[in-house]
Amino acid sequence: MRIGVDGYNMAMPTGTGVATYGVGLVQTLRSMGHRVEGVFGIDVGDDPRLREVLFFDNFARDEKDRRKRRKWDRRARAAIDVVRGWAGADAQEVTLSGHVETAAFAGRLPVFDRLVSSADLFERAHRHFSLFGRFLTLTMPDPPEIMHWTYPVPIRLKGAKNIYTLHDLVPLRLPYTTLDVKKTYHRMIEHCVREADHICTDSEASRNDILAMFDARPDRVTNTYLVPPSSGSALAADPADDAAIIAGTFGLAPQSYFLYFGAVEPRKNIGRLIEAYLSLNSQSSFVIVGAKAWSSDGDLKLLNSGAYGPAADRILRLSYLPRETLLRLIRGARAVVFPSLYEGFGLPVLEAMQLGTPVLTSDISSMPEVAGDAAMLVDPYAMKSIVAGLRALDDDAALRARLGAAGPAQAAKFSQARFADTLAGIYARLG
């Protein structure tokens, strides 16, 4: 079967959880024997001879740079969209000759059997939906049988069955933690649920939210869970090598630090987590790996307050790390701490358990599903609960050993084989 997968989040250089999901989806589909076709929103120009070159040239740039380079063109496109009204978008074939060296993108861009791209596709689609309240129709030569959108984007591929993955309903469940225009977002999800040939989501918690908040038929919404990204290189690495690299790069010893990794944004509960750590007065360090998002200054204000003296000096904040380095940090951590206020799945919890690292996470939304009995669960709204969980993990070596040993078995429940079986059932019903 030929299946399209969008590259909306894969084109973001620093990566996102949705990008990780997309890469895993492509890899799983190819392992099932399907032909996978990537659909991107990158400007590849009009000359077929240069499309491959321009695709990878623009793929390598961050979104801000891409937008700056096409600033005037983008304004013209916005005006054209208004004039066209109901017009759709056309995707152009990007012939992969192999002339462009692509090894640098191995971690971000999975192997596709075919690539097509339509300039500013996702930006145009959101603008089109805001103006007209309808999904943008995308046309392409010889479309695949199924188009699997990895994110709720207001686009429908003509000539294909369209599946949308709704990872969570954060803008509606925790509206004060996102910048989405809530009325537009609600209308878009409503349209997805009504018009999609099928909806996928990441957990029973998210599926229940979708069914509770929208008029969706239960048989058209499937929880596929997630497949963890490969950690094979980290699992095979010599712990002594990891220790040397962590010490040389960060000045940290193995098991001497708590680790948070993920976006620094309101729903991740970073402010409470930092306050809980500082209240603990632990000799263990605290490493935060994640790019600052909107409203993150409030979460990080304690770091600059000077109120906690030497304890604040033991906090190390890093905006981004290459995946291999991050995996080393995860495996070497005393514990991974992730007391988020809401998650559609909570991929960091799964990644840490896969590597045998103890985890502290929340007792709400999807996180108990993912963690099972292999993590320390806390009330993310209660400071005392977070502090108590951190203290237990900091002081109790036997607890850390038990959770670390239980993690890989729990993570193994979310296997690629399970993911593939669920997808196969969905595609068979649609085919």
Q: What is the DSSP letter of 264?
A: B
Q: What's the token pair of residue 94?
A: 């990007």
Q: How far is CA 201 from CA 24, 39, 210, 212, 320, in A?
A: 14, 20, 9, 14, 27
Short-list 208, 285, 291, 227, CA closest to 421: 227
- Give yes or no on whether 2-227+415-430 and 232-411 have one common fold: yes
Pair 377, 217: CB distance under 8 Å: no
pLDDT at 76: 61
Q: What is the side-by-side strand order in the sheet with 376-378?
A: 315-318, 285-289, 257-261, 335-338, 359-362, 376-378
Q: What is the pLDDT of residue 14?
A: 64
Which pLDDT value is given to residue 257? 99
* Burial of residue 264, with CB atoms counted within 10 A of its CB: 0-12 exposed, 13-18 middle, 19 or more buried: buried
Annotation: CATH topology of 232-411? Rossmann fold (3.40.50)
C-alpha distances (whole Å) from 368 to each of 222, 326, 364, 378, 410 are 19, 24, 7, 10, 11
Please give the full DSSP string across 141-155, using - where no structure is assigned. SS--SEEEESS--SE
Give the pLDDT means over successive 10-residue stretches in the chain (431 positions): 96 77 95 98 95 95 57 58 68 94 88 96 95 96 98 98 98 95 97 97 98 96 90 75 94 98 93 94 95 72 65 89 92 98 96 97 98 99 98 99 98 96 97 78
303 DSSP 8-state letter: G
Summarised one tens digit per residue, pLDDT across range 318-369 is 998 988 899 999 999 999 999 999 999 999 999 999 999 999 999 999 999 9
What burial letters (b/e) apply to 388-404, b meaning 16+ CB within 10 Å?
bbbeebbeeeeebeebb
Distance CA 230, CA 266 (A): 28
Structure tokens at 36: 């996978």
- H or E, element range at 315: strand 315-318
- Res 323: pLDDT: 86
Report the b/e string of 317-354 with b at 16+ CB within 10 A: beeebebebbbbbbbbbbbbbbbbbbbbbbbbbbbbbb
Instruction: Tell me how many degrees the CA angle 174-209-173 measures, rounded to the nearest 5.
Output: 5
Task: Identify the burial level of 90 via C-beta atoms within 10 angstroms of its C-beta, where 0-12 means exposed, 13-18 middle and 19 or more buried.
Answer: middle
Q: What residues does 136 pair with on adjacent strands?
A: 155
Residue with tokens 């079967």: 1
Cα 257 from Cα 331, distance rounded (Å):
11
Give Cα separations from 258 to 42, 242, 391 (angstroms).
39, 16, 11
Closest CA to 411 of 330, 291, 318: 330
Please state, as a whole number, how many other Cβ atoms lie within 10 Å of the Cβ of residue 407.
25
Domain assignments of the chain as residue spans, ordered by start: 2-227+415-430, 232-411
Residue 344 is encoded by which pair of tokens?
A: 């559609």
Q: What is the pLDDT of residue 214?
A: 97
pLDDT of residue 232: 64
Q: Are 256 and 333 in contact (CB under 8 A)?
A: no
CA angle 233, 236, 238 (to 5 degrees): 115
| Side-chain-side CA neighbours of residue 251 (13 Å) | 5
In sequence order, what are the residues at sequence separation of 6 or more whose Cβ sits closer than 8 angstroms to the Cβ of residue 227?
24, 28, 414, 415, 416, 418, 419
User: What is 2-227+415-430's CATH number, 2.60.40, 3.90.1490, 2.60.120, 3.40.50?
Assistant: 3.40.50
Q: What was the pLDDT predicted at 301?
A: 73
CB half-sphere exposure, 394, CA atoms < 13 A = 19
Query: Residue 198's pLDDT is what?
Result: 99
Q: What is the model's pLDDT at position 296?
A: 66
User: Please, are residues 29 and 3 in contact by the beta-carbon 8 Å criterion?
Assistant: yes
